[in-house]
Amino acid sequence: MKRNLLLTPGPTQLPARICQVLGEPIIHHRTPQFQGVLKEVTEGLQYVFQTKNDVLILTSSGTGGMEAAVSNFLSPHDQVIVLEGGKFGERWTELCQMYGIKAHVIKVPWGKAGAVSDIKKILGAQKEIKALFVTLVETSTGVTTDVRAIGEALSGTNVILVVDAISGLGAVELRTDEWNVDVVVAGSQKGLMLPPGLAFVSVSPKAWALAEKSTCPKYYFHLKAAKKAAQKTDTPFTPAIGIIMALNESLLLIKNEGIEKLWARYARLAQGTRAAARAMGLSLYADPACASHAVTAIQVPSGIDGEKLTKIMRDTYGVTIAGGQEELKGKIVRICQMGCVDEFDILTGIACLEKVLHEMGHQFTLGSGLAAAQKIYNQK
């Protein structure tokens, strides 16, 4: 079979060990065997989240966790702030609107980072704000938000900080407790190297206090029910048993490497991708001050159709990278450094990008991107 290299922002590639576990016969979830795994994965998740808070496991894609983070802590007519710098920031706004919550939206230009001063301005004028929603890695633009600075700005207030870390967790630095983050949402199919199907939500005591007053409707994504079950090492409904078994392996891989080493590894991979793009005469989309290590957004040269570029890479050569979304459709491509990706995967992606750009008429020296990335990867 032809190669199928995924350099996409979810799903990401599965390590061989994870594929093995996924191929094993299923076990029943109301058993001491599964309870043992549930206990281990919860501790493992706390390590990856860098938190002592509860981390709850939901059976859904990441967006289910986002919905839970809106419906469980708020009530209709509550006021919140959304830092919106791309497609996933917009999802927070849409979810809030769906539950009748008033969102003060800070529109951040795509490719740029939001300013803490804008948040402080709204907090100064609106005393009733209950929550602030941000996106750790805005996957649509390749920007990492400075969650640490935002957490600092909120400390000592009654506002809870809710972070969509679906594409950031396990790829870029996130210190939930140290940075004063109340709710973190993640998913299984990105940095955690698993198939889609699980969402994770960590909840601080401050957020649990707010949950007591929440009147938004919820049934499947009821975090208090999930917590009650978790206290008995159980889940309220049938969980995605197979993915939880595989999660135990992926958390072990992360723990064995060490979270800080892992953050550094992806930073280095991203540095190589960026150097390659520049050497090929391509511009990077995100402001260098906030360019993410998890997703590198590269502008497609004018006159070349980015949609066609990614299609040829995938269908002819078996290398999948992501195109642009919405207004960036056809204008950018995104190469992802998260999950089970090493420097040779990135070099393969760059080689393929070079080949197809060359075929499509972009003028540059073939091999220049590869040489630039190799130079970074070969630094001691």
Ligand X SMILES: *Cc1c(COP(=O)(O)O)cnc(C)c1O
What is the binding site for ligand X (CB under 6 A)?
9-10, 61-63, 88, 135, 137, 139, 164, 166-167, 187, 196
| Smallest gap from residue 239 Cβ to ligand X (A) | 16
CB nearer ligand X, residue 8 or residue 372:
8
Q: Is 98 helix (H, G, I), strand (E, B) or coil?
A: helix
CB nearer ligand X, residue 95 or residue 154:
95
Q: Please name the residue ranges forming H helices in 258-331.
A: 259-279, 306-317
Would you say 235 and 222 are in contact if contact means Cβ atoms under 8 Å apart?
no
Angstrom distance (rounded) from CA 318 to CA 236: 41
CB nearer ligand X, residue 12 or residue 46:
12
* Exposure letters 127-145 (e unless 16+ CB within 10 A, then b): eebbbbbbbbbbbbbbbbb
Residue given tokens 């790829």 in the structure block: 171
Q: Is 203 helix (H, G, I), strand (E, B) or coil?
A: strand
CB nearer ligand X, residue 138 or residue 354:
138
Contacts of 156 (CB under 8 A, 6+ apart): none
| Smallest gap from residue 216 Cβ to ligand X (A) | 19
| Smallest gap from residue 190 Cβ to ligand X (A) | 6
Q: Which amino acid is at 308?
A: K
Burial environment of residue 298 by CB neighbours within 10 A (0 to 12, 13 to 18, 19 or more): buried
CB nearer ligand X, residue 105 or residue 280:
105
CB nearer ligand X, residue 298 or residue 376:
298
Residue 379 has which token pair? 């630094």
| Smallest gap from residue 165 Cβ to ligand X (A) | 8
CB nearer ligand X, residue 54 or residue 164:
164
CB nearer ligand X, residue 233 or residue 325:
325
Would you say 71 and 221 are in contact if contact means Cβ atoms under 8 Å apart?
yes
| Smallest gap from residue 54 Cβ to ligand X (A) | 21
| Smallest gap from residue 156 Cβ to ligand X (A) | 28
Nearest Cα neighbor of 247 from 11, 31, 57 is 57
Burial environment of residue 116 by CB neighbours within 10 A (0 to 12, 13 to 18, 19 or more): middle
| Smallest gap from residue 1 Cβ to ligand X (A) | 26
* Exposure letters 49-68 (e unless 16+ CB within 10 A, then b): bbbebbbbbbbbbbbbbbbb
Angstrom distance (rounded) from CA 151 to CA 260: 20
| Smallest gap from residue 294 Cβ to ligand X (A) | 9
Q: Is the dihedral of CA 51, 122, 116, 166 positive or negative?
A: positive
Would you say 226 and 55 are in contact if contact means Cβ atoms under 8 Å apart?
no
| Smallest gap from residue 140 Cβ to ligand X (A) | 8
CB nearer ligand X, residue 89 or residue 369:
89
